[in-house]
């Protein structure tokens, strides 16, 4: 643990990771764009955006990686849904070209009650939000409701062994192994398809050397 940081400091950082808000939230979002760059790029490779896709991202932060999706083909449509109104506004600002031509929209909402019609998307993905879902059956029902039949859900996380000793995660994070995540989704109606396990170089974060691994789990 970084001795220069207090328990209150860690609590504040955890709160911003869960729901970035205000000036600190904007800084956290920019920092995570850099810190989670490999995780984002590997996840987008798994999403594999293709012609005529309608893609939903849960928790897009400031929308930095939206261009990586929409620049692939002009018939791809993207929707981002975030718990933080500040991140919705930041995403709109960062992606004006795409919002103005109707290929991207950003919505303030809660994953427990998604503001979308049934069968709206053929691909849904989320990166580093699974730790914060409070009611798995309710959330997963919502994801299944808005996903088209035959569509895919991709969940990217850092595994439990990466985060269990990381001091910030004791405040509002729920940590899971690969097996536990698969069990939760399977018990609630999704079928596990595959997992990619990606090792990254260790990285210093808040004075701690953090092992870097991500799991990219695909369900349908």
Here the tokens at position 174 are: 């729920």
> Where exactly are the structural domains of the chain?
7-205+214-219
Instruction: State the pLDDT at residue 1.
Output: 47
Instruction: State the pLDDT at residue 202.
Output: 81
CA–CA distance, 211 with 117 (Å, rounded to integer): 39
CA–CA distance, 102 with 84 (Å, rounded to integer): 22
Helix (H) or strand (E) holding 149: strand 147-157
Residue 39 DSSP class: H
What does the DSSP assignment read for 66-107? HHHHHTS-TT-EEEEEES-HHHHHHHHHHTHHHHHTTSEEEE
CATH fold, domain 7-205+214-219, is Rossmann fold (3.40.50)
CA–CA distance, 65 with 37 (Å, rounded to integer): 9
Here the tokens at position 143 are: 């994801």
Angstrom distances, CA of residue 83 to CA of 72, 129, 142, 173: 27, 10, 15, 16
Given a cut of 50, the residues of the chain with pLDDT beneath it are 1
Structure-token match 């409701």, residue found? 145
Instruction: State the pLDDT at residue 174.
Output: 97
pTM, full prediction? 0.94
Could you tell me how many helices (H) and strands (E) the chain has, helices first? 9, 7
CA–CA distance, 76 with 89 (Å, rounded to integer): 22
Here the tokens at position 189 are: 């109606």
Neighbours of 211 (CB within 10 A): 16
């Amino acid at each position: 643990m970084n001795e220069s940081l207090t328990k209150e400091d860690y609590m504040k950082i955890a709160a911003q990771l869960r729901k970035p808000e205000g000036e600190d939230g904007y800084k956290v979002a920019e920092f995570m764009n850099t810190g989670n760059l490999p995780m984002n790029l590997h996840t987008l490779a798994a999403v594999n955006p293709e012609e005529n896709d309608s893609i939903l991202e849960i928790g897009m932060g400031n929308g930095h990686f939206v261009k990586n999706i929409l620049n692939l083909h002009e018939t791809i449509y993207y929707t981002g849904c975030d718990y933080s109104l500040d991140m919705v506004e930041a995403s709109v600002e960062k992606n004006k070209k795409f919002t103005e031509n109707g290929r991207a929209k950003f919505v303030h909402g809660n994953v427990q009650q998604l503001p979308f019609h049934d069968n709206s998307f053929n691909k849904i993905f989320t990166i580093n939000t699974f730790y914060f879902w409070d009611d798995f059956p309710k959330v997963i029902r919502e994801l299944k409701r808005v996903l088209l039949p035959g569509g895919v859900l991709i969940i990217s996380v850092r595994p439990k062994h990466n985060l269990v000793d990381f001091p910030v995660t004791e405040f509002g994070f729920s940590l899971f192994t690969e097996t536990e995540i698969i069990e939760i989704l399977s018990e609630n109606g999704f079928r596990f398809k595959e997992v990619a396990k990606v090792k990254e170089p260790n990285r210093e974060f808040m004075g701690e050397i953090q092992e870097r691994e991500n799991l990219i789990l695909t369900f349908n």
